[in-house]
Structure 1
């Protein structure tokens, strides 16, 4: 047998669901060489083998966040931080914008992200006039935590040509009250503004990818699905991923979703370049086609068949592409070309529309293992679950939504609907391999709230929602490893610590299988290994054993 490049010994190595534990693991040529006892693995070491002492710690396959926005996360790090843990009041939000304006030349854009109108002291979005007073000399655009709504000041609206007479576009909202613009823009209503905003160039995007990727590694995340390449800057975003990979600046493995939406698309360019789903290499693989069909439940723009609480009977959210024939034609074209689909659909009305489109495409061109996806898929009905089973359509939900937004969901929907949302146990029982993810920067990239919610169904405030959907620790980790890989047709490549799979490992400072679930929220990733190479090491942990073989 080959000599190992790296061995991890003296711990508890979880191999994968149903596969049990070992004491140690060896990695050679970037892949798992063997798992077994300390004696068996130590025998595979040579003079140049890197030895890592686990000292009783848990090692798992590297985590795979199945839906997040890598470069947007990196870019957001340079924006004004308006997350609820930073900004609790409207005045604090305005102060943060003022502070950025004070060090920004007049006329340049001020952008911020992460505020939650429901958690602000005023319980509403800021008005454009309030942003005007805070920043009269800068165009300003601040984006809600879900990324589907934002508020612009008057100067930004003027630069975009949005006036009191500008109609809301199909699938979007330009909000007015008493005939005047409030500054709030939702879904496709944002397009006219975002089209004129400055775009990051390829070097800036590469920096953002590298910056964000290092943060993911610090959480034990060694793979991610980048959920929307081309969403803001078009083709240069794809160029940035290719450049990052070519120059060794892609910190982790990426499955790259290709924007093929009605308002933002690079699909024709990707197809011409031969970037069909599955092409690429172990670091950057071309993924599915992304289309948006609705918004967010917390923003009341997810398209439901029922009305949101506290609104009028027609307050059912927004269908971004209300014409079923149009959506079906878009899906069919991509499906015929060989692409997997990854369509954003949160509300049950949007899920209906997506399932109709998938059904027509699969009837036209059968592909039983294409594994089309529904991104988020939070608020589906039981009858829709059966349709998903029939077509083997995969759900790609975010447990962090339930953790962070659970109480808010109870304010916009009846309790039975909230408790029945994100039904992981039902999906598992149906054989649909639900994955785990964060939709970062919509929620924090931190995987601990995801695991905690999967196991307990508790929100950040301790409210239990849908107890019957709880998972075991092993099932939760399976969702974050194997099931995420299954969603990208990579389950034979990664997601388990078995011979032949990629040597991607996360080492934890405590045993997630034996601690109280609440303690998961304090767990740390001590070490992330990518292909047998240490990619992240938490300071002061002393994991490297420098002894000779």
Structure 2
């Protein structure tokens, strides 16, 4: 056999292995509570029959067992609880993968300012000349008395090495002079966008502080080229399944060269192309295995990756729309408010927020309206970062105008984070058929700071109005915004149900929701936000078998113990992707 024939045979084997051949297998789940998250929760089924990744039948144990064949796998829940898999509608797995290699300065692993600076200086000493020291999680809210590093301090510990520190909020950063030089930033560099800037002192010299996403991008472009995230991407996707998450939505892919996009498509899509298989065999793409469904919202920098039509991808991997920003973070003073931030030591001393500051929009209302109108008319779903009440008012105004000019009812445009959102704004959002996703663990981790240092008691009682959103008839979801907070669905659920912060203080009791509503916000409501409510989000016949087994029934657990519930097994498309 000559070499050409051998090559042809090898390619034929590869091509055959790329076909999407279904596996004839079936599973019966029985022996424990089954919470379907369907419209009618009055009926509690005893068993579920799954075949070829789909839910075929839901009903009594007797009727389901009649469907058993010789190769059916019986899973006795032994009193454990079966639910549809959780859906994380607002996450950043790519950013999480890149940050995995960063030095951790966060309040989750450090308790005092001394710990932070000792850890940073130790990393600097280990680094080679010219090397970048990358750190994450800088957080004056969780670490008392932690002050922002000065440029002179960073230069003194690393005169010949670049330092870049990203805040826990991911909306601000600090860099030393060498890092700024390599980024191409000088005192004469113009601010890239309203509210996004390179801070200067009274002498118009750089301080090293960088505010908001647009100003961070020059560093981002350098850092992304330094990190190979192939292994980290797989590890991050695996971390979702350990928490019972079966579907994720990435709100903005940040790499310009598209490496992470290609890897995500390869890992999640239900088919594998010939080229993908070859690249996998060559080690360029990671090994394909069952993992989470993945829906993507691109950012404007990646518009070249938009497919020609919204009808792209499949029910495992798809580009849904565009992510836009209107304001920033409460912890950098860039959340856009109707009334000024509170006067406090944290705001003026630690965060250097001036008195009577209200934040500002990161884009003009007119420019934002034109972006909304353009992407809406192209048919893409739009997800907008909006935290402050003034921001939300202007964002809703832009959508109201665009939708009046180009009516389309089932667009499901999304508003993300929604820290302050008035009842009248909720009513308008409902009229426009918009949907909200709440960054609920702002309350858990930073509720005390929001009340005492950032917003004051009156406004803090109104934050994250989940119950009001439900009362307005809106579909809503909860999210962790990984890597800002850990995934942990039951931490989100517990916070939404109890409205208590990590100090066990109650905040906004009137906005507490039931456990059932919280569960639905992470299952069927989230599925609706992704236009997937007829495919996932509940245990119903004809839907995909995306399922999670829990060690306890969340409807029977004390609200204060919800976050202690453990995931036993996770299934995507009938495939077991995690087992305790």
Whether the aligned pair in 2 keeps the contact of 1:206 and 1:241 (CA below 8 Å) is no
Q: Give the Cα–Cα distance (whole angstroms) in 1 for the partners of residues 48 and 208 of structure 2.
A: 56
Q: Give the Cα–Cα distance (whole angstroms) in 1 for the partners of residues 305 and 104 of structure 2.
A: 33
Q: Who is 2:4 aligned against? A: none
Q: Give the Cα–Cα distance (whole angstroms) in 1 for the partners of residues 176 and 127 of structure 2.
A: 16
Q: Give the Cα–Cα distance (whole angstroms) in 1 for the partners of residues 218 and 290 of structure 2.
A: 31
Q: Who is 2:266 aligned against? A: 243
Greater helix fraction, Structure 1 or Structure 2:
2
Q: Aligned match of 1:199 in 194, 199, 224?
A: 224
Q: Who is 1:546 aligned against? A: none
Q: Give the Cα–Cα distance (whole angstroms) in 2 for the partners of residues 200 and 275 of structure 1.
A: 30
Are residues 1:424 and 2:477 paired?
no
For the aligned residue pairs, the C-alpha RMSD in angstroms reads 2.2
Q: Give the Cα–Cα distance (whole angstroms) in 1 for the partners of residues 393 and 545 of structure 2.
A: 40
Superposition map of 1:135-534 within 5 A: 135-171=158-194, 172-179=196-203, 180-188=205-213, 190-191=215-216, 193-194=218-219, 196-200=221-225, 204-229=228-253, 231-233=254-256, 235-245=258-268, 246=272, 248-249=288-289, 251-260=291-300, 265-267=301-303, 269-271=304-306, 273-274=307-308, 276=310, 279-310=312-343, 312=354, 314-321=356-363, 323-410=364-451, 411-534=453-576
1:250/1:288 CA distance change after superposition, 3 Å = farther
Q: Who is 1:116 aligned against? A: 139
Tell me the number of residue pairs that the alignment of Structure 1 and Structure 2 aligns. 527
Q: Who is 1:52 aligned against? A: 75
Q: Give the Cα–Cα distance (whole angstroms) in 1 for the partners of residues 449 and 392 of structure 2.
A: 21
1:4/1:472 CA distance change after superposition, 3 Å = farther
Whether the aligned pair in 2 keeps the contact of 1:453 and 1:459 (CA below 8 Å) is yes
Are residues 1:6 and 2:27 paired?
yes
1:420/1:78 CA distance change after superposition, 3 Å = same
SS of 1:16's equivalent? Answer: coil
Whether the aligned pair in 1 keeps the contact of 2:290 and 2:577 (CA below 8 Å) is no
Q: Aligned match of 2:41 in 15, 19, 22?
A: 19
Q: Who is 1:543 aligned against? A: none
1:76/1:496 CA distance change after superposition, 3 Å = same
1:507/1:148 CA distance change after superposition, 3 Å = same
Q: Give the Cα–Cα distance (whole angstroms) in 1 for the partners of residues 569 and 491 of structure 2.
A: 19
Normalised to the residue count of structure 2, the TM-score between the two structures is 0.86
Moved more, 11-20 or 128-137: 128-137
SS of 2:174's equivalent? Answer: strand
Normalised to the residue count of structure 1, the TM-score between the two structures is 0.91
**Which structure 2 residue ranges, 5 or more long, are not aligned?**
1-22, 277-287, 344-352
Q: Who is 2:150 aligned against? A: 127
Moved more, 181-190 or 376-385: 181-190
SS of 2:383's equivalent? Answer: strand
Whether the aligned pair in 2 keeps the contact of 1:94 and 1:131 (CA below 8 Å) is no
Deviation at 1:136, TM superposition (A): 3.3
Q: Give the Cα–Cα distance (whole angstroms) in 2 for the partners of residues 249 and 108 of structure 1.
A: 35
SS of 1:35's equivalent? Answer: strand
Whether the aligned pair in 1 keeps the contact of 2:497 and 2:514 (CA below 8 Å) is yes
Q: Give the Cα–Cα distance (whole angstroms) in 2 for the partners of residues 79 and 3 of structure 1.
A: 44
Q: Give the Cα–Cα distance (whole angstroms) in 2 for the partners of residues 504 and 199 of structure 1.
A: 33
Deviation at 1:3, TM superposition (A): 8.7
Deviation at 1:128, TM superposition (A): 2.7
Deviation at 1:98, TM superposition (A): 3.3
Whether the aligned pair in 1 keeps the contact of 2:423 and 2:468 (CA below 8 Å) is no
Offset from partner CA, 1:448-469 (integer Å, 9 cap, x none): 2101011111111111111111
1:295/1:438 CA distance change after superposition, 3 Å = same
